[in-house]
Chain A
Amino acid sequence: MTGLSIDRISMRFDLPNGSAVQALKDVSLTIGQGEILTVLGPSGCGKSTLLNIVAGFLAPTSGKITLNDTPVRGPSRERGMVFQKGALFEWMNVRDNVSFGPRMKGQKPGDYAAEVDHLLEVVGLRDFKEKAIYELSGGMQQRVALARCLANHPDVILMDEPLGALDALTREKMQSLVLKLWKETGKTIILITHSVEEALLLGERLLVMAPRPGRIHSEYRLPFADMGVDMDLREVKKHPDFAPRREEILSLIWDMEEEIMGRKEVAE
């Protein structure tokens, strides 16, 4: 089958003091080609670990991941990653950052110049091609990171709280951009976030994870991402289904957080 398949992934971290943390337990999930999936959960529920395993930065203790029927072993260009803080290369200008993937493949400037220009146009940074990374604002840096990821033509884009460090206004613009890019490129996207609103707005499917051990708690199928493609996100939020959904998921996560706190108090 095409798409990403996550099959009974478990991850244990052995701590130096001899104990172990079960970060993930039997997580199974399939994501079809072109789907956009958002992952929510209280801190410590293993969502970043899951993403790092899919990216290939971590090897799971047990379980298997396949992308288009090929097992995932280590990082690769099919699975692009966008980090919370750009993780851009400050010693290169914007263009060289975006063309990093093609250049590492050995492409000549003639091969990728047009596409880099196009991508910078799409993310609205056409005039910043020659600028140094440290001259850009946080939001612009995240757009460079998006363009850099797209220039490499990954099948799946993994986003680890990509908008978490941005101010509210920039964040809203970037959310629209993510939806636009999703629709235009047809990429599979997995996006981790702390914000319930963001998860509702951007996710065709929304996954809520629970901690200790990290596992999938529940899954929602949502109409808002499709609406948001060609509608103002503030309008989407006014949809009659939006607020009840938000309250439902918020209280779910609140309960989990409270349970964690309670358990801590008992332990102490």
Chain B
Amino acid sequence: MIPLLLYIGFFILTFAIVRALTGSMRKDDFIARKTVTFGDESAVVADRRASFFSIFAIFLLWASFTGSVLLPDFLHMPGPFTGTGTFTYTAQTADGQSDDATVSVTVLADAQESDAVEVAPGEGFAKNDSMAISTYRSSLARVDANDEVTRDDGATVVAVNGEPIAPGGEVRTDFARIGMSQRGTLNVEPNSGWQMEPIWLPAPEAVFKRFVEIASTGFRNYTLLEHLGFSLFRVVSGFVLGAVVGIPLGYAMGLSNWFRGWFDPIVEFMRPVPPLALIPLVIIWAGIGEGGKIILLFLAALWIMAIAARAGVSGVDIAKVHAAYSLGASKAQIMRHVIVPNSLPEIFTGARVAMGVCWGTVVAAELVAAEKGAGMMIMVASKFQNTDIVLMGIILIGIIGFGIDILMRWCERVLVPWKGRS
């Protein structure tokens, strides 16, 4: 909840600052008027300053809530308590005598028992205690264990820092929550602050360090490049196979009634089946090796490419075909010079979708079963609670998926520059 509120606050704040510094966000021209009346989608253009602040905000929140070294201390959220805190408890014997004693609690990351400070026993029947607790952990404190009158003799703890406490109750001190179990034992839970425990969310630099480490030493017998390379290899081979079969299939469906009728039920049935639903069947048939994965990705790409090619052929403007006929072109020439080039924009759209679907499918397939690959890496890491590797993997998967899309768009611009401009 707090991160969300901070995020919204940051959104509003940056907007206000940029607006204050540069005046109005939009020029007061006709384009602005258009947007106001929702007339033209193209009148809304992404403000790159907002994009910058958006990414910045995510890293800021991430670093702030993980106590990252990338940020100065005053920007950190309150971290877990570390150091030594003390509280006093009041023990009362069965016959009504009471005595106070102090407990010194040392809180450290990875604290050992030996980290507990030395304390003098002090006066009275209740003796001072000391203990050590790791950050984010809690510990039972048998404070009466070293007292002259213990719980077995009928002594009970009745107050902490002077506040009365009963079994099931709690007292908050300046550094910890002191609870009391049903049997009367104190439970010391040092304040954990607002920061995330690294096992849930490691700091950015920890993720980066892990990235450097895995990039140089590898993970599970394969280097990082091999893991990512194998995922990419599966995607590319599955996609290429799907395109090589799917595009001619789509052309045939766009040109022949018989092909259209024959394959329509198959294509229309297979199209809505998510490729992920095929994983179990593919594993049964082809195992968990490369073959199975490539078959899966082939199936993921096939229908998309077939439908795209079919749409490309069916969508040809009949006037263009007529024009070519009356210019003396033969059927084969029309196919080569009119139908095929005319279908390229549709095919490229399909290819972009197919590559995206294939990339998502390969990661999912590797999550289920694989010896190498980006998905396998994060799955195995999650089993060992290596959250830093999981995060690193997710970021790399995202970057590669984004890169694939950029590459496809670039190809589209270069190879079919007339797309959407006829």
Contacts and interface: CB of A to CB of B under 8 A. Distances in A.
Interface of A: 55-57, 74-77, 79-81, 83, 85, 87-91, 100-101, 104-105, 132-134, 148-149, 152, 154, 158
A87 B418 contact: no
B417 interface: yes
B422 A81 contact: no
Contacts of A134: 417-418, 421-422
26 contacts: A55-B322, A55-B326, A56-B326, A75-B322, A76-B326, A77-B328, A79-B326, A81-B322, A81-B326, A83-B323, A87-B322, A88-B320, A89-B324, A89-B338, A91-B418, A100-B324, A100-B327, A100-B329, A101-B328, A104-B327, A134-B417, A134-B421, A148-B323, A149-B327, A152-B328, A158-B326
A87 B422 contact: no
Nearest to B320: A87
B330 interface: yes
A57 B342 CA distance: 20
A250 B418 CA distance: 41
B325 interface: yes
A77 B326 CA distance: 5
Given A87-B317, A132-B417, A152-B327, 10 more contacts: A76-B326, A80-B326, A87-B320, A88-B323, A91-B341, A91-B342, A91-B344, A101-B328, A104-B327, A134-B418
A93 to B, nearest CB: 10
Q: Interface residues of B toward A: which range?
A: 20 to 34
Contact of A87 (B319, B341, B344, B416): B319
Q: Which 8 A-B pairs have the closest CB atoms?
A: A77-B328, A90-B418, A87-B319, A134-B421, A75-B325, A91-B341, A101-B327, A87-B323
Nearest to B327: A101
A158 B325 CA distance: 13
B139 interface: no
Contacts, number: 74
Nearest to A52: B322
Contact of A133 (B319, B322, B338, B418): B418
- Residue of B327, B329, B333 with most partner-chain A CB within 10 A: B327
Contacts of A83: 319, 322-323
B337 interface: yes
A104 B326 contact: no
A264 B328 CA distance: 42
Given A57-B325, A83-B319, A83-B323, A90 B330 contact: no
Contacts of B330: 104
A247 B87 CA distance: 108
A169 B361 CA distance: 56
Contacts of A149: 327
Contacts of B417: 132, 134
